[in-house]
Chain A
Amino acid sequence: KQEVTQIPAALSVPEGENLVLNCSFTDSAIYNLQWFRQDPGKGLTSLLLIQSSQREQTSGRLNASLDKSSGRSTLYIAASQPGDSATYLCAVVPGGSNYKLTFGKGTLLTVNP
């Protein structure tokens, strides 16, 4: 059974800092990996999707990398801003199917002005 772990569970940083959020998964046979952002009481917003054949994806100040062999993904946020404060979740879809995402429990990020 695929398990997804996100470390740390919570992170507080000063504005302007570059930071890395970590996601690890137990089964390297994945179809894709997706990073989401969730604001309190809100839905999940898709940030980046990495297909299994890709090593990284970039969108603005965000960069996500994928290392299937080690079962890891990182989300890099450059020049963090208070508006980046949210919970960040990663989710993986197992290989052989592309529907049953397994979610991590998220990292709660607080960026202090």
Chain B
Amino acid sequence: DADVTQTPRNRITKTGKRIMLECSQTKGHDRMYWYRQDPGLGLRLIYYSFDVKDINKGEISDGYSVSRQAQAKFSLSLESAIPNQTALYFCATSDFWAGELFFGEGSRLTVL
């Protein structure tokens, strides 16, 4: 099993729908992140969390919200999806000292 698991892997939805992407990890890391990847724009940080009670906005948090349900679980929500949120979304984890990031396989979201 993967150390960082994302669900769903693919999702097609319509404008205005609420969407939740879920991430769970077995690496025992405190830090978790949500990134978005778009062609030509690279990877951009949406939200990050250092522990269950510490959640921070990244560079493109507008239109997104997150929930850290437990050390191992971090979910990303789009309250009202819009077409320009069509992208590949990645969850990642890291420990504190080394800072090495480990990524999930990604969730491809298409908003029609």
Contact = CB atoms under 8 A, between A and B. Distances in A.
Q: Do A and B come from one complex?
A: yes
Interface of A: 31-32, 34, 36, 41-46, 49, 51, 89, 91, 93, 98-101, 103-106
Given A103-B42, A105-B42, A106-B42, A44 B103 contact: yes
A7 to B, nearest CB: 14
Contacts of B102: 46
A3 B52 CA distance: 30
B42 A46 contact: no
Interface of B: 4, 31, 33, 40-43, 45, 48, 50, 58, 88, 90, 92, 94, 96, 98-106, 108
Given A41-B106, A49-B98, A98-B99, 8 more contacts: A42-B105, A43-B103, A43-B105, A44-B92, A44-B103, A100-B45, A101-B45, A103-B42
Contacts of B98: 32, 49, 51
B14 to A, nearest CB: 23
23 contacts: A34-B100, A34-B101, A36-B103, A41-B88, A41-B106, A42-B106, A43-B4, A43-B104, A43-B105, A43-B106, A44-B92, A44-B103, A46-B100, A46-B102, A46-B103, A51-B98, A98-B94, A99-B31, A99-B48, A99-B99, A101-B43, A104-B42, A105-B41
